[in-house]
Amino acid sequence: MNIITEPATIPANDLLARWAELLKAQPALRIRNAAQALGVSELELLVLGTGDKVIRLRPEFAAILGRMEGLGPVMALTRNDDVVHERHGTYLNASLDKGPVGLFVGKDIDLRIFWGSWGHAFAVTEDGGHGPRRSLQFFAHDGTAIHKVYLTEKSDTSAYDDLVKSFTHDDQGTEVTVTARKPRTPEMPDAAVDVNGLREAWLGLKDTHDFYMLLGRFRVSRTQALRLAPEGEYAVKVGASALRQVLTKAAERTLPIMVFVGNPGMIQIHTGPVKNVVDARGWFNVLDPEFNLHMREEAIAESWIVRKPTVDGMVTALECYDAHGEQIVQVFGARKPGIPELNEWRTLTAEVENDTRQ
């Protein structure tokens, strides 16, 4: 989904009426799906509830997130159009004011925050099956959700109330201006790429994080870089079932993994084993007590087993992309800097590669 919404295209009262009609026909429809059906952003629907169950907060994002630890155990949610990543834990070890990227690096809540996309913040109270469900929700300038933080029965509700009071915005109106999402930059022809330079730089990588800079240096998209990867087994295209196989095998072997899900404003990471891998309601899921993953498998247009050299040895990942070449999920073997990749993870990915190679 690529929403492009001009400011104030639909008056608030008209949009509210259209949403009410839609909910009559589909009472269980989630707000994100309702927004898609109505041709607006999720934020434009959410803000209609301002003054009742929705409170606009000042866009002081680093300061707000700096208070997250005080909430205690919560559920952190980051998603894109095709994958939802939910992780329970406490926000710890924050680094929020040292440049364009913020961090939380706790054992449970592990985040990479890209501030340039952040535009709006709200406190939201929803009706839940066991009483009100309260959350902090953050949105991009184009109105799509970046990150949500839900209170649990273990959270400190007084700290939440104090946070909301501290950051309540003077503007509590029911309209919001959203900007059009920037169009995707088209790939340049493969023939125009310095392929030899790209491959040499790939082979010279010292850290997986340097791959992003490699893409910018050679002006290639991620999937284009994979197509033009060094000869050998550095990027192997595999079938869409590879994600299912990786997660299922990891669960069977109790192998700890790292699952990355992101959008332009956030990457959220789970590190640890996965256990309960199931199909439910048209989604492929991990349903564990502290970690949930919900994946629309039909959205996977390309899957690759990718290997990158580092100072700690080769690092292997499964990377999945949608039809637009946008990365929707990455899976690694659990590891930390200074520690080589697990041999069990290399064995698992080699098996999946052999089974699903295209």
pLDDT digits (tens, 9 = 90+) for 229-287: 999 899 999 999 999 999 999 999 999 999 999 999 999 999 999 999 999 888 999 99
- Mean pLDDT, the chain, whole residue set: 93
CA dist 131 and 125 (Å) reads: 10
Does residue 4 have a pLDDT over 50?
no
Question: What are the boundaries of each domain within the chain?
Answer: 12-94+118-167, 190-280+296-356
332-355 burial string, b = 16+ CB within 10 Å, else e?
Answer: bbbbeeeeebbeebbebbeebbee
Is residue 233 exposed (0-12), middle (13-18) or buried (19+ Cβ within 10 Å)? middle
CB 286 within 8 A of CB 293: yes
Looking at the chain, the whole-number percentage of residues with pLDDT higher than 70 is: 97
Percent of the chain with pLDDT over 90: 78
Per-state percent for the chain, helix, strand, coil, to nearest 5: 30, 35, 35
Reference 73, options 103, 101, 107; nearest CA is 107
User: Considering only 56-70, 104-118, 181-195, which range has the smallest mean pLDDT?
Assistant: 181-195
- Residue 5's pLDDT is 42
What pLDDT is attached to residue 358?
84
Report pLDDT for 8: 44
Closest CA to 155 of 34, 71, 219, 220: 71
Question: What pLDDT does residue 23 have?
Answer: 87
> How does residue 9 score in pLDDT terms, banded at 50, 70 and 90?
low
In tens, the pLDDT along 306-347 reads: 999 999 999 999 999 999 999 999 999 999 889 999 999 999
CATH number belonging to domain 190-280+296-356: 3.40.1570.10
Amino acid letter at 122?
Answer: F
From first CA to last CA, the distance across the chain in angstroms is 27
Amino acid (one-letter) located at 47: V
Examine the pLDDT at 7 and tell me if it is beyond 60: no
Residue 6 is predicted with a pLDDT of 44
Whether the Cβ atoms of residue 151 and residue 132 lie closer than 8 Å to each other: no
Q: What is the pLDDT of residues 40-81, one digit of tens each?
A: 999 999 999 898 799 999 999 999 999 999 999 999 999 999
Higher-pLDDT residue of 130 and 163 is 163
Residue 147 to residue 235: CA distance in whole angstroms: 31
Q: CA-based diameter of the chain, in Å?
A: 60
The residues with which 83 forms a beta bridge, in sequence order, are 295
Give 211-220's long-range contacts (Cβ < 8 A, gap of 24+): 211/308, 218/193, 218/194, 219/188, 219/193, 220/187, 220/188, 220/193
Contact by Cβ (8 Å): 46, 116: no
- H helix runs in the chain, sequence order: 12-25, 31-38, 42-46, 61-65, 157-167, 195-203, 210-218, 222-227, 242-252, 343-356
User: Which residues are 129's β-sheet partners?
Assistant: 131
Mean pLDDT of 1-12: 52
DSSP letters, 141-183, are: TTS-EEEEEEE-TTS-HHHHHHHHHHHB-S---S-----PPPP
Cα 180 to chain center, whole Å? 20
CATH topology of domain 12-94+118-167: Heme iron utilization protein-like fold (3.40.1570)
CA 334, CA 93: separation in Å to the nearest integer? 19
Answer whether 0.75 is exceeded by the pTM. yes
**Average of per-residue pLDDT across 124-140:** 90
Same fold, 12-94+118-167 and 190-280+296-356: yes
